[in-house]
Structure 1
Amino acid sequence: MTVTVPLPGLATRPIRVFVAEDHQITLWGLNQLIEASRPRMEMVGCASTLDELLCHDGLPGADLLLLDLDLGGQDAAAAMDALRQRGNAQVLVLTGADDAALHRGAVMRGARGVVHKSAPAATILRAIECVSEGQVWLHRALMGEVLGLLTDGAPRAAAPRDPEAERIASLTPRERDIIGVLLRQAGAKLLSVADTLRMSEHTLRNHLTTIYAKLGVRGRLELHVYGTAHGLDREPARAAGGALS
């Protein structure tokens, strides 16, 4: 079973997919699968080595990087920071390994999903769609491990002056409202959350940009972890007649 956590999505246009895979038969099969899915998605490039991937002109324009972690014997996960400097593509790991530690390490370095090479074609395509939209595609067990690691690490990162408390204190009451609704409606689309908050989706996105900056998080997944760890999911007490304005 897979857990998906919705984040801001893409406009309705073909998903530009870049594939990094060192087995030619697998690469050929992925190319056929993606091209057969037009106009939902299109393949904008491929690479079979890490050096080729980092230098490829097609990578900066990709929405999603379908990444084999072992590229010609090189650890692609170790190059995640360098890959982020080459564009804004979401990373979906495609792996034939059953090594949970390997998968967990890739996610902690920035991958948004992991899908096994043995998965049905429809599952791989669905994973591409979800991750390209900013969602997370992880098996429930892996999601639990990642959330546990992030949550357990939060208190140890705090300095004696408790910078986390200072960050939380910098939030306005409205921003606290927004965080609370997001955490209590973790599976909801942003438009639905905006309706609950009685604001436009555009206004909600602007608020989220400010919230992410104040708390030092990147996206809804990290906000969910941070907010849950610090009790921001509890609905604040309100005076009678209080409203979300």
Structure 2
Amino acid sequence: MVEVTERLIRVFLVDDHRATLWGLERLIDSATGRMRLVGSATSISELLASPASHEADVIVIDLDLGGQNSTDSFDELFRTHGARVLVLTGARDLDAHRKAVMAGARGVVRKEEPVDVLLRAIEKVHEGDVWVNRALIGDIMNMLTGNKPASAPPVPKASGLTPKEHEVVAAVVRHKGAKSLILAEDLKISEHTLRNHLTAIYQKLEVHGRLELYVYAKEHGLGVSA
């Protein structure tokens, strides 16, 4: 009788400090039966150029890569990779953490936390959850649900969305946290077409990533298919 086992979570690591990267590699290797290290890089350019990075389910990336904020590259990363991104950082600045999540990261883990926290975060992000502390969740929700300064620009209207784009938004709400493949299958379109629709939706609604789109849709009643 053949025993069926779950596929290991494929992890790719990005950190510009080689000693830290070495330690992270050993950590992932120690998660026997749970995770598999598919590759590592010390810069954004190495990450984007690495064929192994396209195999990853979760990319763990340092927020500060040699003075470069890694979130600046997230747009390009999400255009070319299907992995979920988990930010690892030594910074305590909640504003920087918030910006990382708003840019599309599925979670933030501080380097000073116990190593098992990072492993749990990788698993949760892979499952579709968001891994952030409670203070950050409240900050993000307040910002996305209307508690903004009076000087903020008015909330954009959804009237510019096409019928198909409304269907995509509804699918995002229905399958919160699901992989792009699940959304594409539900909508009976390719993942490439799904990415094109999402890009157009983000521009029209002035949101950044599926987390913000989900909150925006729930807040403005866009989660019901026609």
TM-score, normalised via structure 2 length:
0.71
Q: What is the deviation of 1:216?
A: 3.9
- CA contact 1:31–1:43 (8 Å) conserved in 2: yes
Any unmatched runs of 5+ in structure 1?
Answer: 1-10, 191-201, 234-245
Mapped to 2, the partners of 1:48 and 1:113 lie a distance apart of 20
Q: Which amino acid aligns with 2:17?
A: H
Mapped to 1, the partners of 2:42 and 2:163 lie a distance apart of 48
- CA contact 1:50–1:74 (8 Å) conserved in 2: no
What is the correspondence of 1:168-183 to structure 2 with a 5 Å cutoff?
none
Q: What is the deviation of 1:58?
A: 1.2
In the other structure, the counterpart of 2:130 is 136
Q: What is the deviation of 1:226?
A: 2.2
In the other structure, the counterpart of 1:5 is none
| Structure with the greater alpha carbon radius of gyration | 1
Q: What is the deviation of 1:85?
A: 2.7
Q: Give the RMSD, CA atoms, in angstroms.
A: 3.8
In the other structure, the counterpart of 2:154 is 156
Mapped to 1, the partners of 2:155 and 2:38 lie a distance apart of 40
- CA contact 2:102–2:212 (8 Å) conserved in 1: no
Q: Which amino acid aligns with 1:53?
A: L
Any unmatched runs of 5+ in structure 2?
Answer: 190-196, 203-208
* SS of corresponding position for 2:92: coil
Is 1:53 the counterpart of 2:43? The answer is no
Q: What is the deviation of 1:12?
A: 3.1
User: Residue 220 of structure 2 is aligned with which of 219, 224, 230?
Assistant: 230
Mapped to 1, the partners of 2:145 and 2:188 lie a distance apart of 21
**Aligned CA distance change for structure 1 residues 58 and 147 (closer, same or farther; 3 Å):** same
Mapped to 1, the partners of 2:100 and 2:136 lie a distance apart of 11
Is 1:100 the counterpart of 2:94? The answer is yes
In the other structure, the counterpart of 1:64 is 58
Q: What is the deviation of 1:228?
A: 3.8
**Aligned CA distance change for structure 1 residues 35 and 110 (closer, same or farther; 3 Å):** same
Paired-residue identity, %: 42
* SS of corresponding position for 1:98: coil
Q: Which amino acid aligns with 2:46?
A: E
**Aligned CA distance change for structure 1 residues 155 and 72 (closer, same or farther; 3 Å):** closer
Mapped to 2, the partners of 1:169 and 1:84 lie a distance apart of 24
The count of residues paired between Structure 1 and Structure 2 equals 199
Q: Note the alpha carbon deviations across 1:113-135, whole angstroms, 9 max, x for none.
A: 00011111211100001112221
TM-score, normalised via structure 1 length:
0.66
Structure number with higher relative contact order (C-alpha < 8 Å, ≥ 6 residues apart): 1
* SS of corresponding position for 1:164: coil
Q: Which amino acid aligns with 2:47?
A: L
Q: What is the deviation of 1:169?
A: 9.7
**Aligned CA distance change for structure 1 residues 223 and 79 (closer, same or farther; 3 Å):** closer
* SS of corresponding position for 2:112: coil
Q: Which amino acid aligns with 1:156?
A: P
Q: Which amino acid aligns with 1:229?
A: E
Q: What is the deviation of 1:164?
A: 2.5
Q: Note the alpha carbon deviations across 1:12-63, whole angstroms, 9 max, x for none.
A: 3111100001122221111111111122111111111222122112111111
